[in-house]
Chain A
């Protein structure tokens, strides 16, 4: 005798939810039990932030600088000896002309040049103000910035000293010139870049590998024979990585705020919302890869080559997009990380709101939907 046990929809939804919860719990067990995965998951972002961060912001000591002293007077000499006394600079007093400064920058053995005009002391005494020029090699913008700050501090210190027993304030005005990179681009750029990179790597690779692993192990077949819905299999794979990735975003932000002193200028909620969107984009790419590949190695290779490289090359994080040939500029448009990178930069650094980034958000959203639809279609075909 046939009996149809068509349970009511509510009860169905309830069992589905329960099964879903059981599945998600199992996925967490997989991740939390695998030391290697955990290390990649949480170690990598910390490593990257620290490597990038400290390569750029570590205190700069004993930098070789050159002083071009056209004045050769008492005031300039006193200032120079102060600079020599500081632990930040190694002064090279070799009498070179200011035309040769750029040459020494190019050779890379000098980081900063300080130039005194001819009548430095006279200007200071008679007009109560004098100028010095600070030129830095800004190819490494963070070092340039730091060195300029140190130099200005020393000059201000000296200025405060000579003002102590003076009736009228003397002022030394440093004129700063950042060579090669006047806007000091990329100083803060690396945090959004690392965020895009880490999320891309974690979400795409880990989701792809974890789904393909079930195929390889044969457990996927068991799951497909069970009443558990295939769509739910995929979703429950994605949930743990979504949560873990949000934790990653939080830890990267904490590192950048508390360790690197990079504040989040815009709305934190908006930043997390946009990150969630990007994470979902990445998860969908991971699902897409897993549906089309059969082994963990292939899935990993495709994730690395197909996702990591374009992210590094075309997101604008390492190489400015404006400098690329037109064709490559067009290609960058299909790299999701590019749009996320723009979004994070706008929120974190420029402090802009949603109205400034809605266009990028819509593009990301479109990409996600597109990938989701294709993956689900392929997944269904594979089942038949």
Chain B
């Protein structure tokens, strides 16, 4: 039996009459790359915000890294990393300053920050850019840097909200190499995406439609179940029944 690091039980979020996330129940294993798919407005972001402790569930239950989403949000925050769909490092700070800042607010010691930033810059090949403003880097590098900063404090789980939006296929591939490397180190990766080729890279994926999880399995198994040749087709079969959209 593998360790379960994310576990939800009928997790629900209502905004007035609108049920954004409707009683979702699933588990994510340690070291797994878990794809969280759904059309726009399906409730992915709301679900993810609850899991990160940014928003309180209306009902149901969830534990993240062993901590309860109602009572132990502070502990959850220490154990997760987060990268949003908006690029979110400080553009007017240098690469090094960003690393130092985020390392600092996650409570790393100066020594840890020093070793880690050297490691990170070497891994990304950013040696000559380390003292440049982040705003001057190309988007692909920003995304990679952003991911590396999100896992700087060695979280047990990292949440990625459409991390590769607007990036070319080559850079996306490189980005996924970083994700695999992190998963090999034992970091659980929870990722939302629009790109179906990316869905194929995941160990398991769930597909949300109108606030509910309609399918959850490995990409191979899903294709078999839906008698489809590609993930695109699986997704289309499920999502065309959706009532909600943009």
Contact = CB atoms under 8 A, between A and B. Distances in A.
Interface of A: 1-2, 4-5, 15, 18-19, 22-23, 26, 29-30, 33-34, 217-219, 221-228, 383-384
Contacts of B195: none
A225 B107 contact: no
B107 A218 contact: no
Contacts of B78: 227
Given A22-B101, A29-B97, A34 B92 contact: yes
**6 shortest A-B CB distances, which residue pairs?**
A218-B86, A22-B104, A218-B88, A225-B82, A228-B105, A227-B77
A224 to B, nearest CB: 6
A223 B82 CA distance: 10
A217 B91 CA distance: 9
Contacts of A23: 101, 104-105
Contacts of B66: 1-2
Contacts of B84: 218, 221-222
Contact of A384 (B56, B74, B91): B56
B107 A219 contact: no
B157 to A, nearest CB: 11
Contacts of B56: 384
A217 B105 contact: no
Residue picked from B66, B90, B106, most chain A C-beta under 10 Å: B90
B86 A217 contact: yes
Contacts of B97: 26, 29
A108 to B, nearest CB: 51
A72 B169 CA distance: 99
Contacts of A228: 105
Main secondary structure on chain A at its contact with chain B?
helix
A222 B74 CA distance: 14
- For A217, A221, A222, which residue has the most chain B Cβ atoms within 10 angstroms? A222
Interface in B103-128: 104-107
A222 B82 contact: yes
Contacts, number: 77
Contacts of B102: 222, 226
Contact of A227 (B83, B93, B106): B106
Nearest to A228: B105
A19 B110 CA distance: 12
A383 B75 CA distance: 17
Contact of B88 (A18, A19, A222): A222
A15 B77 contact: no
B47 interface: no
Contacts of A34: 92
Contacts of A4: 75
A226 B105 contact: yes
Interface string B149-187: 000000000010000000000000000000000000000
A46 B92 CA distance: 27
B67 to A, nearest CB: 8
